[in-house]
Amino acid sequence: MFWKRTIPSIIVAVVGVIMLVSWFIPHAPFDKLEIHATQWYDIIASFAMILGALNLLKLQGRKVVKRKKGWPYSLAAVLAFFMTLSFGFFIKGGYYPNIISIGENEEAVYAKIAEVTKLPYSEAKKLYGNPMADGEQLVMHKAVVSKRYAQKVVNELEDLGATVSLGELKWGSHVQGQNTYYRWVFYSFFTPLSATMFALLAFFVASASYRAFKIRNMEATVLLLAGILIMLGRVPLGAYLTAWTQNISWLSWLHLPVIQEWIYQYPNAAGARAIMIGIGLGIVGTSLRVILGIEKSFMGGD
């Protein structure tokens, strides 16, 4: 019990006090303590990500093996995990022609560049008219460029008189580079799925708004009126319906975009700041409970 409870509590208390004191002592060794603490957090988060990935494989793999309800979705999750992992750590891709010199047959070379990049001839000439800088890619129209295809383009450009070498992205930069397997997975699968999820959230928001806007008491009535004014003031219809107020100076404040902006800038900002103050007080209270050893739920206690 001593090693499982007392020692962790002492470590948390000491670290908490040191971090608290460091905010009030802007001198060494406390001045850079926040930077070091952030690095510690990144290291711990890295191990947490590994444990999370292993837990994902364990739970989803168990569903697939036992053929539980929805196991095909679990199989898709496991396959997607290994595919993304492979493209991030093992199968890099990221090959590209590195144009050193255009040569004398400029028109044919630029025409070929326009063909492989799917750019207009004039734009291809403008972008790749000068020798390419080290690491600069000739971004081809294919979503994924294999080494074979990149070498084929290099050979074709060399046959036209250009001086070209086969470039390859370094490990790490392939995550952000063009025409790589990882980028293809991210933008062809993850991005559309994320957009779909956010699109579905709109219907959940509409459903929640319908339930919240039912007039039951004074607070619900104020919420309903504020919501209607905000929504009408944000769309062209609201501006059109109250456009006549702009012609009368003393009624200009009735213009719906003006009203919604006032609600957003003042009551909404005041409420948001009150919530942030409450969150700050909650953080202070929870931190003190952890430092003093009152709160032990982070150790799995009651």
pLDDT digits (tens, 9 = 90+) for 118-170: 888 888 888 777 666 655 667 777 777 788 888 888 898 888 888 888 888 78
Decide: 212 and 223 in contact? Cβ < 8 Å.
yes
Q: Residue 36's pLDDT band (boundaries 50, 70, 90)?
A: confident
CA 264 and chain centroid, separation? 26
pLDDT of residue 134: 58
Classified as helix, coil or strand, 130 is coil
* Type of residue found at 73: Y
**Which residues make Cβ contacts (< 8 Å) with residue 40, sequence separation at least 6?**
none
Q: Residue 137 CB: number of other CB atoms within 10 A?
A: 18
Report how far residue 6's alpha carbon sits from residue 169's, in angstroms, rounded to the nearest whole number.
50
Per-residue confidence (pLDDT) for residue 160, from 0 to 100: 87
Report the 3 state secondary structure along 178-216: CCEHHHHHHHHHHHHHHHHHHHHHHHHHHHHHHHHCCCC
In this structure, are residues 95 and 152 in contact, taking their beta carbons and an 8 Å threshold? no
Q: List the domains of the chain with CATH numbers.
A: 2-89 (no CATH), 92-207 (3.30.1390.10)
Tokens coding 28: 């060494």
State the average pLDDT for the chain. Answer: 83
**pLDDT surpasses 80 at 174:** no
Answering whether pTM is above 0.95, one says no
Per-residue pLDDT tens over the stretch 234-257 = 888 888 888 888 888 888 888 889
Alpha carbon distance 229, 240 (integer Å): 14
